[in-house]
Structure 1
């Protein structure tokens, strides 16, 4: 039977980036990592993917997904912010210009997670959110205070047990509930912004928009790779990036939530 596929057309660099991210995440399946939608072909701007059939969420699938996601994270990355191999330039995700030998003025690789998170994930979206009046100047100062602590390394914290404390995890990077596809055989990852980051970021984003059976996912994750003490208190910190992205794109309520999350961090 021919494989069932579907296609989407993106800007060529975006199609390349998504295909590379899916393949990089899928490489962890050999060590028990999470299932990932198969890239069938990449034809310039056209990305051809395996067609998946949706099914109702199941708690057993949620628990197994948690176990598998822990193993995906444990596959690791070479540097903080590392873009997946095969991405043009193989630079730091979110950088205005990729750090390559031909671009010596490009930003250096971040020294630690806090520097990466503040510089490449928070501050660019904060500037844009302020520019569209989604975040007030006073609210921006609350976020900037968090960013200063992050850059100084004061908010760094260990990874889950399967990773060394200061080793980047292999994260999906945009793991809201809509990017977890429930099928008859289990959960499948789609639409990543994959990079080397902190494992708690993926889990915090699952919580932000309400994944079904999230407690089962977390229980399965902790069975395989227990989270560092105090992880519940850091959920606001890890949700700050998606909240700022939404404040930039949609304004209003998301800006207020981003500022509230920043204030909860300090």
Structure 2
């Protein structure tokens, strides 16, 4: 299907215009003045995983998520969200709402959203959701070890470097599983015209709440200090959480190493060495 055909199939309305937003994402104008955002996923099950993630993340008092208009196979249609500038006030509200989202909880570490597949994805990389009652064991095996091996297989990391990364001590405060966005880099925080920060492109699963915050800091986020201060006020973080940021950042760095190469592998090794 073309994006226009997908929009018509998923909404039942006639498409009257198509504008590419980037990659496999389009805005489609519909008859009557309505609009819809249409996405195409290459990986089987990825569209279904995104739908399940968006619905699971839509909790009372949490950050808003786009409404799902329809999904079929690799195609997904969402409500558009008008962009707007980030502001300190919106950042503080986002911090409080993110705390509420995490507090909504998950059945287990690694648990997928209800109705979501175990074999999901994070960006262009595969991500298997395997439920566990032990965060440290789960994170070491399914978020550090797995992606270190993928980085080695991709030629981005040496076996010696992978052993350095896999040798870090994985530990964090004993907290119940949080409901994570799962891919919370700044590009997946959509600052909107309504003055709020919306969540897009999730890879949702149960995890440790510090993981979302560490990923948010990895590539920079507008007014991050306001986000974190408001979060900590709403749901105080355990002592030493800043020292654990490199541990939680190993996961996204290794994903990027497997996908995009050597530079991210070097950052992952540096993060691992900083934890020793």
Q: TM-score range by the shorter chain?
A: 0.7 to 0.9
Residue 77 in structure 1 maps to residue 93 in structure 2: no
Q: CA deviation at 1:241?
A: 0.4
Q: Cα gap change, 1:68/1:86 in structure 2, threshold over 3 Å: closer, same or farther?
A: same
Q: 1:169 matched to which residue of 2? A: 178
- Offset from partner CA, 1:180-214 (integer Å, 9 cap, x none): 00012210000000000011111111110001100
| Contact kept? 1:177, 1:210, Cα under 8 Å | yes
| Contact kept? 2:172, 2:244, Cα under 8 Å | no
TM-score between both structures, scaled by the size of structure 2: 0.81
| Contact kept? 2:95, 2:227, Cα under 8 Å | yes
Query: 1:90, 1:79 → 2: CA distance?
Result: 16
Q: 2:57 matched to which residue of 1? A: 25
SS at match of 1:94: strand
Q: CA deviation at 1:90?
A: 9.1
Q: 1:244 matched to which residue of 2? A: 254
* Alignment: residue pair count: 238
Q: CA deviation at 1:122?
A: 1.4
CA RMSD of aligned residues (A): 1.9
Bigger CA drift: 17-26 or 122-131?
122-131
Query: 2:219, 2:34 → 1: CA distance?
Result: 32
Match runs of 1:249-260 below 5 Å: 249-260=259-270
Q: 1:188 matched to which residue of 2? A: 198
Q: Cα gap change, 1:193/1:89 in structure 2, threshold over 3 Å: closer, same or farther?
A: closer
Q: 2:135 matched to which residue of 1? A: 113
Q: 2:116 matched to which residue of 1? A: 87
Runs of 4+ in 1 over 6 A off after TM superposition: none
Q: 2:226 matched to which residue of 1? A: 216
Query: 1:140, 1:24 → 2: CA distance?
Result: 34
SS at match of 2:45: helix
TM-score between both structures, scaled by the size of structure 1: 0.84
Greater fraction strand: 2
